[in-house]
Amino acid sequence: MGGAPKAVRFSGRGVFVRSFYGVFGLKPYGTPTQPDPAAAVRLAQGQAQRKKRYNMRYHFDFVVVGSGIAGLSLGLKLAERGSVCIITKANEDESNTKYAQGGVAVVSRMEADSFAQHIADTEEAGDGACMPEAVKVVVTEGPDAVREIIDWGARFDKTPDGEWDLAREGGHSAHRVLHHKDMTGFEIERALLSQVYQSPNITLWSHKFAIDLITQHHLGVEVNKRSQEVDCYGVYVLDTASGAVDTILGRITILATGGAGQVYASTTNPLIATGDGVAMAYRAKARVENMEFIQFHPTALYNPGEFPSFLISEAVRGYGGVLKNRRGEEFMHRYDKRKSLAPRDIVARAIDSEMKRLGDEHVWLDCRSIDVDFMRSHFPNIYQKCLSIGIDMQHAMVPVVPAQHYMVGGIKVDLWGRSSIRHLYACGECSSTGLHGANRLASNSLLEALVFANRIARDIGDDFRAIPFCEAAPDWDDAGTAAPPELVLISQNRREVQAIMSGYVGIVRTNVRLDRALERLLLIYRETELMYKTTTLSVPLLELRNLLSVAYTIVKSAKLREESRGLHFNTDFPGKAVEYEPTVI
Ligand SMILES: Cc1cc2nc3c(=O)[nH]c(=O)nc-3n(C[C@H](O)[C@H](O)[C@H](O)COP(=O)(O)OP(=O)(O)OC[C@H]3O[C@@H](n4cnc5c(N)ncnc54)[C@H](O)[C@@H]3O)c2cc1C
């Protein structure tokens, strides 16, 4: 089974192209990426010229897409049961997880904290939109899930007397955030990968890009949103080195592809965060929910020209960092009684409003009251980063600005991580479990990924062996396509999507802006459609296609929500509806 190549057969890519990518109710579309367009052109053209290896066919019990906290922790659990293939589109450790600074929010000291408090804080941040069962599950099952990664080797800081050194972040009523200095995600990723390397049942493939989920659609059966039973049989995957497209068949497929920060011009997310999982699931007709709730982190470092943006963790405010405007005045008390430690949506909107009021491009974070030795030991990464651009946090304030940070919505899943497609689960940031409601509480996302990885593994149980491989799934066919003449068409379109989303679908929205965004996106969709149909596949092209799908789901959902709640603020609907309804598309 695991990994053995089977017969190779070519069928038509045109099959998908014609009916699969009708995001805008139109036909397929193509797309771009890559910071250096010239390098991307050389890569794509080189792929086409190189002697291409044959497309391969593989069989695994479990196909996991993504090697962040969700994919790796779930892969480790599933490896106890069967063969696991974890595929990831870049280096093995490249993920949002790797950049997580603040930590993991979990109740660990019952004398000073409680499940009830963590639940209340999560629900308050979620602004009436959290699913109570999901909140309860994550908070109460969190301690066991975290203990497990500690057993796997993840190290969290302790105080000199051996207690957990718990941080406090915005929206939390207690100190409850476990952390490893200000590099918690890096440490978690390191620990999980070292376990994965030791597991004989896991095949970890890097630089493989999941293109699309395989469903009945590829067998010639019409699949649409009303289809009662869509099945997932695995994924088509582009080998980014050779350009071959492999068919990876799985009894169970799990999307753990992370967020979509790259849809915005300013984000803390790395380049891989292009919302591929949501886009794939959406095209495969899975339910996608609450995409309008995009979290903007209030304090990304203002450093023009740097992309993605460097994050100044909320924990810095937890330890005394205070927001100030150009005049050196504190302003958060005018917006919320919790001041600089109010939930992120409130702080981000307050900064946005203060910047607009004074015509400024950023505000300031004043950390000068924090002991410098404490700063160096708790936030070495942040301290060094600021120094590297000439800011000594001991003596100078740090310029900060909100930047896209987290995708709250995603592939709709139930309490066991099941999507609306059979044999397809989603875990981590690409999923929508109901935990975050309309706004994620700081440091709840790493916890959510761990708890849901556990739940998915439990739900899969041992019955998966009865699920047959779909041998009838055709192999990929790229007949009739050619290397793109110039990828600048793709990279320019990517930049335009980002500009449209930041300009019209940012922290504050209006009906006119949303309509305009949709019209502009449609133009780009039409332009790129032709390229997808006619050119050889490349990562820039596939990412652009996914960014467009995700941008569309965000705008569509934002248009559906005729109220302001949590992270979605529309000045044409400033009030909050009495009853909360999710937006499911
Ligand atoms: C700067 C920063 C700081 C943060 N700090 C915190 C924090 O302190 N606490 C907290 O709880 N959360 C934090 N977050 C959020 C948190 O890091 C993420 O929500 C979480 O790590 C997501 O984990 P994941 O496994 O779902 O996705 P990721 O860690 O993003 O992993 C996704 C994986 O999928 C792969 N992938 C994507 N598309 C494809 C494809 N088409 N084919 C193959 N592979 C693909 C990627 O390469 C990657 O390996 C932070 C995020 C950022 C960006």
CATH value at residue 310:
3.90.700.10
Domain end call among 181, 200, 220: 181
Please report the pLDDT score of residue 435 as a whole number: 98
Q: How far is CA 422 from the centre of its chain?
A: 22
Measured from the CA of 429, which atom of ligand 1 is nearest? 26
**Bridge partners, 422 (sequence order):** 231
Count of beta carbons in the 10 Å neighbourhood of residue 515: 13
Q: Please indicate whether residue 102, judged by its CB atom, sits closer than 6 Å to ligand 1.
A: yes
Residue 51 lies in a domain: no
For residues 64 and 113, membership in a common domain is answered with no
Residue 267 lies in a domain: yes
* Among 33-47, 225-239, 442-456, the least confident range: 33-47
Residue 96 CA, ligand 1 centroid: distance in Å = 3
Given pLDDT bands bounded at 50, 70 and 90, which one contains residue 21?
very low
CATH of the domain at 459: 3.50.50.60
Residue 341 CA, ligand 1 centroid: distance in Å = 24
Residue 320 lies in a domain: yes
Residues, the chain: 585
For residues 83 and 216, membership in a common domain is answered with yes
For the entire predicted model, the pTM comes to 0.89
Given pLDDT bands bounded at 50, 70 and 90, which one contains residue 54?
confident
Given pLDDT bands bounded at 50, 70 and 90, which one contains residue 20?
very low
Q: How many domains does the chain have?
A: 3
The HSE-up count of residue 512 (CA atoms within 13 Å, CB side) is 1
Active site residue 513: no
**Residue owning the nearest CA to atom 11 of ligand 1:** 443
Measured from the CA of 209, which atom of ligand 1 is nearest? 42
Q: What are phi and psi of 287, to 5 degrees?
A: -80, 135
Residue 158 CA, ligand 1 centroid: distance in Å = 25
Count of beta carbons in the 10 Å neighbourhood of residue 157: 17
Q: Please indicate whether residue 429, judged by its CB atom, sits closer than 6 Å to ligand 1.
A: yes
For residues 457 and 400, membership in a common domain is answered with no
With contact defined as beta carbons under 8 Å apart, do 398 and 363 qualify?
no
Count of beta carbons in the 10 Å neighbourhood of residue 194: 12
DSSP-derived pairing of the beta strands 398-407 and 431-432: unpaired
Type of residue numbered 475: D
- Alpha-carbon torsion (579, 420, 425, 547), positive or negative: negative
For residues 137 and 253, membership in a common domain is answered with no
Q: How far is CA 50 from CA 252, 371, 475, 499, in A?
A: 34, 57, 21, 35
Question: Would the pLDDT of 110 be above 80?
Answer: yes
With contact defined as beta carbons under 8 Å apart, do 477 and 11 qualify?
yes
Measured from the CA of 69, which atom of ligand 1 is nearest? 25
Exactly one of 317, 344, 494, 561 is catalytic; name it: 344
Residue 234 CA, ligand 1 centroid: distance in Å = 22
Residue 181, token pair as written in the block: 């200095």
For residues 105 and 92, membership in a common domain is answered with no
Residue 115 lies in a domain: yes
For residues 262 and 115, membership in a common domain is answered with no
Q: Please indicate whether residue 409, judged by its CB atom, sits closer than 6 Å to ligand 1.
A: no
Residue 487 lies in a domain: no
For residues 281 and 254, membership in a common domain is answered with yes
**Residue owning the nearest CA to atom 53 of ligand 1:** 269
Provide the mean pLDDT of the chain.
89
Which domain range does residue 425 map to? 60-98+190-294+406-466
Residue 580 lies in a domain: no
For residues 225 and 246, membership in a common domain is answered with yes
Most confident of 122-136, 351-365, 477-491, 517-531: 122-136
Ligand 1: residue of 65, 97, 427, 430 to mutate (most ligand atoms within 8 A of CB) is 97
Q: Please indicate whether residue 474, judged by its CB atom, sits closer than 6 Å to ligand 1.
A: no
**Bridge partners, 482 (sequence order):** 535
Residue 460, token pair as written in the block: 């899969």
| DSSP assignment string, 126-177 | TTT---HHHHHHHHHHHHHHHHHHHHTT----B-TTSSB--B--TT-SS--E
Please report the pLDDT score of residue 34 as a whole number: 35
Residue 523 lies in a domain: no
Q: Please indicate whether residue 253, judged by its CB atom, sits closer than 6 Å to ligand 1.
A: no
Domain end call among 138, 160, 181: 181
For residues 201 and 91, membership in a common domain is answered with yes
Higher pLDDT residue, 5 or 341?
341
Residue 445 CA, ligand 1 centroid: distance in Å = 9
Please report the pLDDT score of residue 35 as a whole number: 41
Residue 47 lies in a domain: no
For residues 286 and 209, membership in a common domain is answered with yes
Domain end call among 466, 482, 505: 466
For residues 170 and 201, membership in a common domain is answered with no
For residues 266 and 165, membership in a common domain is answered with no
